[in-house]
């Protein structure tokens, strides 16, 4: 993992700076891992409750997050903003579900994960 981080954080391809600008590995990796978590949650929702909507939305959201993470790793700034948009939408969905149910699983856990990923993205995009 350090080799991957060093490769993507060493120099920015656009401005040749030392800190890697917004094109760094932590954003891309966070988006890909979060996408896998969202996909896993959709699969679990389908297996436990038979919810086809959970499976479809988990798969769609997880795929969009994984694609945006891959774009970030390839140096595309738009991928970070796309991932932030998907994450923001998931914050709204899981926030509403948590407020309605007050259950930590799965709504509270997914809300917490969404907020953490949004904070990582925001911190990286604003520096």
Which DSSP letter does residue 101 get?
Answer: H
Number of C-beta neighbours around residue 70 at 10 A: 15
| Residue 107's pLDDT band (cuts 50, 70, 90) | confident
Kindly state the tokens that stand for 10. 């060493």
What CA–CA distance (Å, rounded) separates 127 from 15?
Answer: 15
Return the closest-CA partner of residue 84 out of 125, 25, 54.
Answer: 125
What CA–CA distance (Å, rounded) separates 68 from 78?
Answer: 8
Residues with Cβ < 8 Å from 18, sequence gap 6 or more? 10, 11
DSSP string, 38-67: HHHHHHHHHHHH--HHHHHHHHHHHHHHHH
- Quick one: pLDDT at residue 14? 52
Model confidence pLDDT, tens digit, residues 16-28: 555 555 457 889 9
Span 95-102, average pLDDT = 94
| Residue 78, H or E segment | helix 77-101
Indicate yes or no: pTM above 0.85: no
Model confidence pLDDT, tens digit, residues 41-96: 999 989 999 989 999 999 999 999 999 999 999 988 899 999 999 999 999 999 99
Return the closest-CA partner of residue 41 out of 51, 27, 30, 26.
Answer: 51
Contact 28, 117 (CB under 8 A): no
């Amino acid at each position: 993992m350090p080799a991957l981080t060093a490769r993507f954080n060493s120099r920015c391809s656009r401005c040749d700076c030392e800190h890697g600008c917004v094109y760094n590995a932590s954003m891309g990796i966070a988006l890909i891992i979060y996408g896998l978590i969202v996909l896993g949650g959709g699969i679990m929702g389908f297996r436990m409750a038979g919810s086809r909507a959970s499976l479809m939305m988990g798969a769609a959201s997880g795929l969009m997050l994984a694609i945006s993470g891959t774009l970030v790793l390839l140096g595309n700034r738009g991928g970070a903003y796309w991932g932030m948009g998907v994450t923001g939408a998931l914050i709204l969905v899981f926030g509403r579900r948590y407020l309605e149910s007050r259950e930590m699983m799965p709504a509270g856990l997914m809300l917490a994960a969404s907020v953490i990923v949004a904070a990582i993205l925001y911190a990286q995009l604003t520096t």
